[in-house]
Amino acid sequence: MMHGTVGGMSSLRNRSVLGAAVAFVLALVCVGVVAGPASATPGDPVSFDVVGSTDFIAQTGTTSTETITFVNDGTDPIKFPARPAFTSPLALIAFSGFSGETILPGSSASLVVAFTAGSPGVVEVPTNVLVTAEDGSNRHLVQVIFKTESTVGPPLHFVIDPTTLDFGSVMVGASASKSLSVRNDGAVPLNLCVADIMFYDIVGTELPDFTITSSSLGGGCGYVSVGAQATFSVTYSPTAKTDAFRGLVAVTARYIPGEDVADTLSIDGVIAAAAVDPVVVPTPTPTTAVPAAPAAKPAGVGAAASATARQLAHTGAEPAFMIGFGTLTLALGGVALSIARSARRKARRG
């Protein structure tokens, strides 16, 4: 019996093995029906696994190329007698192992397929792959569905906001944080990883003082759907003093349509910062209070006060002296007057 699955985001697995159901599946292929997912056990004699993406997406007018590998995961050697025939908008541009070479278990053949995007939209391209046993017997035709999508803009695209992270001046030993968002404005999901956001100076040297300290995606990787965004906290923790400088924040996102295929896009933003020495606050020194010196007297005030005191003392003694002197004068005058009167009386008697 044969096995095949329609290509998608996970790797496409197509198997072809011998068995009684071969005729039934071939009948389905003939009417254009693809066999659904099957559960063949590992170690079937004739089997192959398709590794790589059968999904193509590109902007209108551009070309996208994928390498698809067909691995013999069976127990017997197999052959691919002829290369598959592709129709527009797909074209086979290179192949290996599709000219009847023997493919041993664990070995592989490969196809390089190009998709040229036309008018916006989705187109499916069924393609038949013929596989046989090593001796050419047991021919099995497996149909693989290739899905193509043409987009108006770039399928893988995103914008970052803000385009400049300005941290200003940050003291050594301290830290400052800014928010950075990544918005998916393309046509495919973005695969983002915290480890893919890097910080560089203008000559490309990594800046270890800048780190992602939190993320809406957690600490690892995650998908951002079309139209959605992821946020990251960028922290600057300077360890040494530096003058003001500018650098780059590089954000890399991936579109991973299959297990082993990844298209990447990197967009750079700007960082601006400076590191300054910490501010040292001196410890106050205790002091003993000194009594204030008495205020100096204005010049001449002391002498004038002394003179005034002396004048007041002199003025106070002079009235007492004068009173005593006046009293003595009046007494002497009275005596003299009494003597004069007595002399006059004697003269009259004589």
Residue range 44-100, pLDDT digits in tens: 788 899 988 899 999 999 999 999 999 999 999 999 999 999 999 999 999 999 999
- Give domain limits for the chain: 2-151, 158-276
Cis peptide bond prior to 37, omega within 30° of 0: no
User: 2-151 with 158-276: one CATH topology?
Assistant: yes
At the topology level, CATH places domain 2-151 in Immunoglobulin-like (2.60.40)
- State the DSSP code for 31: T
The beta strand positions in 134-241, using DSSP E, are: 140-151, 158-161, 164-171, 176-184, 190-201, 210-215, 221-224, 229-236
Residues 6+ apart with CB under 8 A from 213: 177, 233, 234, 235
pLDDT of residue 284: 74
- State the DSSP code for 60: T
pLDDT of residue 217: 92
pTM (predicted TM-score):
0.58
Helix, strand and coil in the chain, % to nearest 5: 15, 40, 40
Amino acid at 317: A
Residues in the chain: 350
Question: Is residue 119 pLDDT above 70, yes or no?
Answer: yes
Question: Is residue 310 pLDDT above 60, yes or no?
Answer: no
CB 276 within 8 A of CB 243: no
Angle at 273 between CA 271 and CA 279, to 5 degrees: 160
Question: Is residue 140 pLDDT above 50, yes or no?
Answer: yes
Digit-coded pLDDT (tens) for 120-133: 999 999 999 999 99
- State the DSSP code for 46: S
Question: Is residue 116 pLDDT above 50, yes or no?
Answer: yes
**pLDDT exceeding 70 applies to what percent of the chain?**
67
Q: How many CB atoms lie within 10 A of CB 340?
A: 9
Question: Is residue 223 pLDDT above 50, yes or no?
Answer: yes
What dotted CATH number matches 158-276? 2.60.40.10
CA distance 2 to 22: 6
CB 90 within 8 A of CB 115: yes
Residues 6+ apart with CB under 8 A from 92: 83, 84, 85, 86, 111, 112, 113
CB 79 within 8 A of CB 101: yes
Question: Is residue 115 pLDDT above 80, yes or no?
Answer: yes
> How does the average pLDDT of the chain come out, rounded?
77
